[in-house]
Amino acid sequence: MQDHRMENARGRRGAGSMMDVALAEARAAGARGETPIGAVVVREGVVIASAGNRPRELNDPTAHAEILAIRAAAAVLGNERLTGCDLYVTLEPCPMCAAAISFARVRRLYYGAADPKGGAVDSGVRLYASPTCHHAPEVYGGMSETASATLLRDFFAARR
């Protein structure tokens, strides 16, 4: 798992550049043969942790980018709750990741491409709209959507 802690020299970044970090993690995951998805946890404009998918490498079906980034951020902060943190991810989270985001109490979720088949935020089960959902982050879809979708499409086209 890659844990990129930004030093003060790198300073604060805007939402677009946070998605650039997530896209870089996704490209690195794709280069490793993983599905190219990247995630970044941010607090007060500073990257706390970032990760790309690693289920094949780690032989771990839970090693999605979001889960790895959440685990790393929780370790950095010394708290299982990421109160005040935002998560940027290149693809709409699946049910497992959407639940982890809720349990971690992430403040805002920004995602790139929608996932009509496997997504659980604005597609599929729509976890955060469920009355049994304990915490629903603010959700902003479509961030760097074209770049995120193109990365995934190109990855799978090359595999066919």
Q: Is residue 50 part of a domain?
A: yes
CATH code for the domain of 113: 3.40.140.10
DSSP annotation of 152: H
Q: Is 66 a catalytic residue?
A: yes
Q: What is the pLDDT of residue 14?
A: 65
> Which range marks the domain in which residue 147 is found?
18-158
94 is in an annotated binding site: yes
- CA 147, chain centre distance (Å): 15
4 is in an annotated binding site: no
Q: Is residue 56 part of a domain?
A: yes
Q: Per the structure, how many domains does the chain have?
A: 1
Q: Give the model confidence (pLDDT) of 49-91 as tens digits.
A: 999 999 999 999 999 999 999 999 999 999 999 999 999 999 9
How does residue 124 score in pLDDT terms, banded at 50, 70 and 90? very high
For residue 137, give both structure tokens. Answer: 């982050």
Pick the catalytic residue: 7, 34, 57, 66?
A: 66
Mean pLDDT of 126-138: 96
Residue type, 36: P
Q: Give the model confidence (pLDDT) of 17-58 as tens digits.
A: 999 999 999 999 999 999 999 999 999 999 999 999 999 999
